[in-house]
Amino acid sequence: MNKKSIKRIILGLSMLLGITGLAVGPFASTAVAQGELQIRTTATGAELYMEGCSYLGGGLGSSGNPGYCAYSDFGYMSCPIGSDTCEIPLSLIPAGYSGDVWVWMWCASPSWTYDCQILELGPTPPTIAAVDTYGANYGELSARWWQWLLSIPAAVNPNVDPTGANCGLKQYDDVWFLAGGFGGTIERSCTIPAGKPIFFPIINNVGFKPGGKETLLDLRQLVAGFIDSVTEINCTMDGIACFENPSQFRVRSPSFTVIAPPKGLVPPGQLSVPGNTDSLVSDGYWLLLDPPTPGPHSLHFKATAGDFALDVTYNLTIE
């Protein structure tokens, strides 16, 4: 098969295939191809460039070689005619893929030339799940998180666990809850089954009836006052920021009840009484992460509110 035949096949395929998939992380290196075809790396894709080229295209795949680059099994893309620069999105890479990624690029006009290079992928950026992605919204999940946490005796409660040894206690089938803390600097290790979304608070608060006569409005004002005082909030996954604007992740729960165990979690009061069913409410900043790729990950979050400061690191293993 000659180069002109290859060219016709490639260009036909590139016009038929769409772009789907989940975002995969930034490149760790820049590759330069033959004939002044260049690959510039960005946080979201492989930017192709050739000065004077009026028809660029390319694809991504799991294998290839520098001499013959016709195996881009992740997909192809044709770039706008007349532009000498375009970007092949990393969204073509299947979610969870961890092998070599080849980028194939060609210039069809004014002359035909092509080349391919291996790209080294850096850490996968965290992807934040949208509301109702996993069957419940953030508010509902925050209530479930408190029900989970407050149902575990204080002696083994994940929120006071200094190592992460208890991170797997009483977990649900559909989502994995990570505990926060009552302040200070904490480093934990936790193994999570692959395919689990992860839900956790960066900073949160819960309101119950310390006097026994408070209304739900009283409780909401009580918990909101603390969260209103937040002055710092950050989260990274493998060194990459989880968000740009944290305000969209402030969540107020619906009212909920908890069956507290004997010798339950601090704070003391009605929550330490077995069988208590008074309504509670929560306020805070929460995140729901899509299931991370298998392997090791580092999750770090911190927050400050008045005199309260929390800095938590999770060394996660997804398997």
Q: What is the pLDDT of residues 31-48, one digit of tens each?
A: 333 446 677 666 566 777
pLDDT for residue 26: 31
pTM of the model: 0.65
CA–CA gap between residue 278 and residue 273 (Å, rounded): 11
Here the tokens at position 295 are 């392997």
| Complete domains list, the chain, with CATH | 3-119 (2.60.40), 138-318 (no CATH)
Q: Which two tokens stand for residue 47?
A: 């930017």
For the segment 230-256, what is each residue's pLDDT rounded down to a tens digit? 999 999 999 889 988 899 999 999 999
Say how far apart CA 113 and CA 129 lie, in whole Å.
41
pLDDT attached to residue 211: 62
Give the Cα separation of 256 and 132 in Å (integer): 19
Say if residue 23's pLDDT is above 70.
no
Distances (CA, A) of 4 to 14, 49, 111: 15, 21, 11
pLDDT of res. 1: 33
